[in-house]
Chains A and B, each alone.
Chain A
Amino acid sequence: MMNKGKALSLMLAATLSVSALTACGGNKNDNGASSPAASGSAAASGSASSGAKDTITALLPPVSPTYQDNFDQMEKDFNAKYPNLTLKIEPASWEDMTQKLDTQVNAGSPPDIAFIGSDGISKYVQQGMALDLTDAVTPEMTGDYDAVPLEYMKNGSGLYGFPAYMEVHALGGNKQFLEEAGIDWKKVQKDGWTYDEFRDAIKKGVVKNGNTTSRYGFVFATAGVASKDYLGIMAKSAGMPASFNKDLKYALTSKNYLELLTDLRQMIDDGSMPKELSSVDAGKRWNMFLTGQTMITGKGLATFENSAKKNNAKIDANDGSAVKDSIKVDYIVLPVPTFAGAAPVSSTVVDGYVAFRGKKEPTAEHKANIAKAAYFLSSGQVAATTNNDLFAAHITKSGRDAAASMKIDRNPDNVAAVETMLSHAAPARPDIPADLGAKAIKIENEVIVPKMQALLAGEIKPQDMYDAVKKAAIDAFGQDGIVQD
């Protein structure tokens, strides 16, 4: 009896506490369900209905400062153009967007379109998750793009999206300092320079104050996210426009590579570059450029001209808002020097709208709709506004037309210099198979970048780094898979 009573009260109490719990949990769920955006987002990729109505999802970072403000307008414009289609834009921050995309890809449910660098395409092709749009795009679409950037969106024979812009990685110089050092920058803009000419020039740019250097000839950002840039950009003009040569042999084991490494170290030993170069990041070197601590900086992008102009205006206003200790700077676009007698090849970055598939194969209709959305985002008004914001060159006819009426204030010499560099841009290499590309990326991350940091810090010799890269390359590609000269 007593036992029964006790058990009963226990059970009663248990239900009480359980119901208290569910009440608690229920509240949270109600919160969720009543939120405006809670429902309706299940229409992810790959589930296109056979009806005319369709939704395309796009994962987009803040490409330019005003880009994300225009999302609502873009969605509206797209719907006006294709009344049966809805464009759903997911915003994402730049640095974390790859991680989000990769999680979605790994989970088998990526968005239909994501804005990524063209160098990322092979990774997703290898996973089988990039969507080949070749038979979904129309000739009117592909015909709108310049040939070179469009090539970058290919892998093998497939076309995986549309390019948004092609930017050239250049150097940036301080006009006044260049002229003080007796450098004919207009000639360099036109004809380029060799490593020896460049080495002399930056030596002349150095200003010493007793034992300490108050101005360097050249500072390149090599720390943090910029770690790959320096070597990658320079290697293009050292006879290695890509990690693999035309015969698909790994190119970074050639003699030129060793010479390039030796030259890069030499500029530090000359005192033309700071010996702390390995921890100079993108923000730091820009600060050094604006405060007159360096004559030339890298990497340089077209928009830097604008940033320098803005700071000049603030110095004039003299209201304490300019960068501390900064001086007025005329930003001059300069090409990268050529190494080991190689031809100049500009390093370019092509970013664009890449298409993805989910676990289910998308229908032909959905594919065509994805192509429409990718084209919409990368051409015409949208492209014109974005690229102008970035000071980036237009790469579509429709974009150029739309931009004709928008005026921007740029130094014509710089515009011409960028055009010259774009004329010998590194060609796209869709012929490099995805698995080779993946191995090269792994060598870059696990061997090249760490060794480069050590080389710049003066802890290893160029030969040590060269040997380490060669060893890793032989492990990955075999003796026959690499360039030996």
Chain B
Amino acid sequence: MAQSAQSVKKRKIKGDGVWGYAFIAVALIVYAMFTAYPVFSAFIISFQEYKPLGSTYIGFDNYTATFKDDLFWKSIKNTIVYTVLTVPVALLLSFLVAIMILPLRKKLQTVFKAVYYLPVVASGVALSLVWLWIFDPMPGGIFNQFIGWFGAHNQNWLGSSATAMFSLVIMAWLSSHGASIIIYLAALLGIDDSYYEAADLDGASFLQKLWHIVIPSLKPTTLFLLVTAIIGSFQVFQNAYLMTGGGPDHATTMVGLLIFDNAFKYFEFGKAAAQSLILALIIALVSLFQFKFLGKDVDY
């Protein structure tokens, strides 16, 4: 009896297994060619002094040099500060907006979805030009006019180390929620009505339903958004590159910017590869923690 049950189970697993591999085959091939191979190359390069006409192996030199580099640690610190300040707030805002859009009439829903999706479609360069105007240090700048109403002094937003990081954080708070709002909305709409109906029968309040139905159901989505947002945030360099160039005095130098500089400004490609792998390891540890923490109830 026991044996036959086991063999049935085994057969099922086996059957599923073939299908599993068939379903991920294309993804795996694309991945192996266009992602795994370049990553592997980068790994090898991280042990080299890279020269296009023939690199030399230098062992762990790139790694030890990185560990000794104060600027590297400062940029890691900046990146972590930026991530901690932006990701949770951005996620919460997206969630709140999605929840608020939900009860509206369909036409209004569409309007707001479009409105929040809009900023995502604008090109990054165009957006950064506008933001430079918003943070204009002269009295004519939009933010300076705004705080002027409250009697506050002119601020040199991007130019002073007291406000530069904060300015980048504000920029992150107020832009680019389009994708996460859409993803949250889609997830919210996927929650089966029967859960709410059951809760209604029990006389559950809005907050109770939010807490007991919505938040648990959205866990996989939240996990996805959190993991990808943190990965994105750790690699961020566009904002700092376009808005502050990492200044003043390295107050906004992100590790992504440093890697970019090493790879392209100084041609220290091996060092850039080593720094990337260290960064990837840090991100991996953070992600692992998130999966442990948030992924528990999720079947994956």
Chief secondary structure at chain B's binding surface: loop
Nearest CB of chain A from residue B270's CB, rounded to whole Å: 11
In the complex, identify which listed stretch (A98-106, A343-351, A476-484) lies at the interface while the others stay far away: A98-106
Checking B15, B51, B139, B264 against A127 with a beta-carbon cut-off of 8 angstroms, the contacting residue is: B51
Q: Which residues of B contact A276 (CB under 8 A)?
A: 137-138, 154, 156, 159
CB contact list, A57-115 vs B, under 8 A? 98-99, 102, 105-108
Residue of B nearest to A102 (CB): B264
CB contact list, B79-123 vs A, under 8 A? none
Report Cα–Cα, A274/B269, bound state, in Å: 40
Size class of the B contact interface (CB-based, 8 Å) = 35 or more
Given contacts A453-B248, A457-B161, A459-B248, contact A441 B52 (CB under 8 A): no
CB pair B138 A438 closer than 8 Å: no
CB pair A21 B26 closer than 8 Å: yes
CB pair B264 A99 closer than 8 Å: yes
CB contact list, B1-25 vs A, under 8 A? 15, 18-19, 22, 25
Q: Which residues of B contact A147 (CB under 8 A)?
A: none
Chief secondary structure at chain A's binding surface: helix
A313 at the interface (CB under 8 A from B): no
CB pair B249 A450 closer than 8 Å: yes
Given contacts A127-B51, A276-B159, A457-B156, contact A450 B25 (CB under 8 A): no
Given contacts A278-B156, A279-B135, A441-B266, contact A453 B53 (CB under 8 A): no
Report Cα–Cα, A453/B250, bound state, in Å: 9
CB pair A459 B139 closer than 8 Å: no
B197 at the interface (CB under 8 A from A): no
Report Cα–Cα, A211/B88, bound state, in Å: 42
B246 at the interface (CB under 8 A from A): yes
Q: Which residues of B contact A281 (CB under 8 A)?
A: 132
CB pair B71 A457 closer than 8 Å: no
CB pair A451 B267 closer than 8 Å: no
Report Cα–Cα, A409/B148, bound state, in Å: 45
B265 at the interface (CB under 8 A from A): yes
Nearest CB of chain A from residue B184's CB, rounded to whole Å: 31
Q: Mark B38-55, 1 if CB is under 8 A from A, else 0.
A: 000000000000111100
Nearest CB of chain B from residue A215's CB, rounded to whole Å: 12
Q: Mark B242-269, 1 if CB is under 8 A from A, else 0.
A: 1001111110010000000101111101
Report Cα–Cα, A359/B52, bound state, in Å: 7
Checking A10, A212, A274, A456 against B18 with a beta-carbon cut-off of 8 angstroms, the contacting residue is: A10
Report Cα–Cα, A67/B75, bound state, in Å: 40
CB pair B246 A450 closer than 8 Å: yes
Nearest CB of chain B from residue A224's CB, rounded to whole Å: 6
B158 at the interface (CB under 8 A from A): yes
Checking A108, A359, A454 against B248 with a beta-carbon cut-off of 8 angstroms, the contacting residue is: A454
Nearest CB of chain A from residue B74's CB, rounded to whole Å: 11
Report Cα–Cα, A459/B139, bound state, in Å: 20
A410 at the interface (CB under 8 A from B): no
CB pair B267 A107 closer than 8 Å: no
CB pair B267 A279 closer than 8 Å: no
Q: Which residues of B contact A204 (CB under 8 A)?
A: none
Nearest CB of chain A from residue B158's CB, rounded to whole Å: 5
CB pair B261 A445 closer than 8 Å: yes
Report Cα–Cα, A276/B132, bound state, in Å: 14
CB contact list, A437-476 vs B, under 8 A? 438, 441-442, 445-446, 449-451, 453-454, 456-457, 459-460
Given contacts A10-B15, A21-B26, A281-B132, contact A438 B53 (CB under 8 A): no
CB pair A18 B25 closer than 8 Å: yes
Nearest CB of chain B from residue A127's CB, rounded to whole Å: 6
Checking A6, A18, A459 against B249 with a beta-carbon cut-off of 8 angstroms, the contacting residue is: A459
Report Cα–Cα, A276/B158, bound state, in Å: 10
CB pair A224 B245 closer than 8 Å: yes
Report Cα–Cα, A451/B249, bound state, in Å: 5
Q: Which residues of A contact B245 (CB under 8 A)?
A: 223-224, 227, 449
Q: Which residues of A contact B250 (CB under 8 A)?
A: 450
CB pair A445 B159 closer than 8 Å: no
